[in-house]
Amino acid sequence: ANSQSSSAGPKSVTAFERATQLMPGGVNSPARAFGAVGGTPLFIERADGPYLFDIDGKRYIDYIGSWGPMILGHAHPEVIDAITEAAAKGTSYGAPTEAESRLAEQIIDAVPSIEKVRLVNSGTEATMSALRVARGATGRKKVIKFAGNYHGHVDSLLVAAGSAAATLGAPDSPGVTPGAAEDTLVLSYNDVAGLQNAFAEHGPDIAAVILEPVVGNMGCVVPTMAFLQAARDLTTQHGSILIFDEVMTGFRVAFGGAQERFGITPDMTTLGKIVGGGMPLGAYGGKAEIMNQVLPAGKVFQAGTLSGNPVAVAAGSATLRLLKEQPPYERLEQLADRLANGLDQAAASAGIPHTVAKAGAMLTLFFNGDPVTSWNEADRCDREAFGRYFWGLIGEGIYMPCSQFEALFFSQQHTEAMIDETIAAAENVLKSL
Ligand code: PMP
Summarised one tens digit per residue, pLDDT across range 331-365 is 999 999 999 999 999 999 999 999 999 999 899 99
b/e map 80-115, b = 16+ CB within 10 Å = eebbeebeeeeeeeeeebebbebbbebbbebbebbe
Position 144 in a domain: yes
Measured in Å, residue 124 CA sits from the centre of ligand 1 at 6
Q: What is the structure's pLDDT at 272?
A: 98
Measured in Å, residue 152 CA sits from the centre of ligand 1 at 5
- Looking at this protein, which amino acid is placed at residue 56? D
Measured in Å, residue 273 CA sits from the centre of ligand 1 at 8
Q: Are 206 and 285 in the same domain?
A: yes
Position 297 in a domain: yes
Statement: residue 170 has pLDDT above 90: no
User: Candidates 28, 120, 145, 150: which one to mutate for ligand 1, based on the most atoms within 8 Å of Cβ?
Assistant: 150
Q: Are 333 and 317 in the same domain?
A: no
Position 140 in a domain: yes
Determine what percent of the chain is predicted with pLDDT higher than 90: 94
Q: Would you please indicate which residues are annotated as catalytic (active-site) residues?
A: 150, 245, 273
Measured in Å, residue 342 CA sits from the centre of ligand 1 at 29
Q: Whose CA is nearest to atom 13 of ligand 1?
A: 123
Q: Residue 249 CA: which ligand 1 atom is closest?
A: 3
Q: Are 57 and 103 in the same domain?
A: no
Statement: residue 235 has pLDDT above 50: yes
Q: Whose CA is nearest to atom 10 of ligand 1?
A: 151
Q: Are 141 and 269 in the same domain?
A: yes
Q: What is the structure's pLDDT at 4?
A: 57
Measured in Å, residue 322 CA sits from the centre of ligand 1 at 23
Which of 325, 347, 373 marks a domain boundary? 325
Q: Residue 245 CA: which ligand 1 atom is closest?
A: 3
Position 46 in a domain: yes
- What pLDDT band is residue 68 in, cutting at 50, 70 and 90? very high
Position 1 in a domain: no
Q: Residue 272 CA: which ligand 1 atom is closest?
A: 15
Measured in Å, residue 427 CA sits from the centre of ligand 1 at 31
What's the CATH code of the domain at 57? 3.90.1150.10
Global ipTM: 0.99
Peptide bond into 41 cis (omega under 30): no
For the stretch 29-67, pLDDT in tens is 999 999 999 999 999 999 999 999 999 999 999 999 999
Which of 325, 340, 364 marks a domain boundary? 325
- What pLDDT band is residue 389 in, cutting at 50, 70 and 90? very high
Mean pLDDT, rounded, of the chain: 96
**Segment 245-271 mean pLDDT:** 98
Q: Are 195 and 275 in the same domain?
A: yes
What is the domain range of residue 136? 77-325
For the stretch 92-123, pLDDT in tens is 999 999 999 999 999 999 999 999 999 999 99
User: Candidates 32, 125, 151: which one to mutate for ligand 1, based on the most atoms within 8 Å of Cβ?
Assistant: 151
Position 69 in a domain: no
Which residues sit with their C-beta closer than 6 Å to ligand 1? 67, 122-124, 127, 150-152, 163, 212, 216-217, 245, 247-248, 272, 282
**Segment 13-19 mean pLDDT:** 98
Total-model pTM: 0.97
Q: Residue 163 CA: which ligand 1 atom is closest?
A: 8
DSSP assignment of 26-81 equals GSSSGGGG-TTT-SPPPPEEEEEBTEEEETTS-EEEESSGGGTT-TT-BT-HHHHH
How far apart are alpha carbons 427 and 424 in whole angstroms? 5
Q: Are 44 and 108 in the same domain?
A: no
**Segment 410-425 mean pLDDT:** 98
Q: CA dihedral defined by 284, 285, 286, 287, rounded to 10 degrees?
A: 140
SS3 191: coil
Q: What is the structure's pLDDT at 3?
A: 46
Number of domains the chain is built from: 2
* Spatial contact of 243 and 269, defined as CB atoms under 8 Å apart: yes
Q: Residue 152 CA: which ligand 1 atom is closest?
A: 11
Statement: residue 275 has pLDDT above 60: yes
Measured in Å, residue 428 CA sits from the centre of ligand 1 at 33
Q: Are 288 and 334 in the same domain?
A: no
Q: Are 186 and 217 in the same domain?
A: yes
Position 83 in a domain: yes
User: Candidates 29, 243, 248: which one to mutate for ligand 1, based on the most atoms within 8 Å of Cβ?
Assistant: 248
What's the CATH code of the domain at 230? 3.40.640.10
Please give the helix or strand (H or E) that residue 237 lies within, else none: helix 225-238
- What pLDDT band is residue 268 in, cutting at 50, 70 and 90? very high
* Spatial contact of 63 and 407, defined as CB atoms under 8 Å apart: no
Q: Are 401 and 347 in the same domain?
A: yes
Q: Whose CA is nearest to atom 7 of ligand 1?
A: 152
Determine what percent of the chain is predicted with pLDDT higher than 70: 99
Position 55 in a domain: yes
Q: Are 17 and 51 in the same domain?
A: yes
Statement: residue 324 has pLDDT above 70: yes
Which of 288, 305, 325 marks a domain boundary? 325
Statement: residue 2 has pLDDT above 70: no
Q: What is the structure's pLDDT at 291?
A: 98
Q: Are 346 and 304 in the same domain?
A: no
Q: Are 333 and 311 in the same domain?
A: no
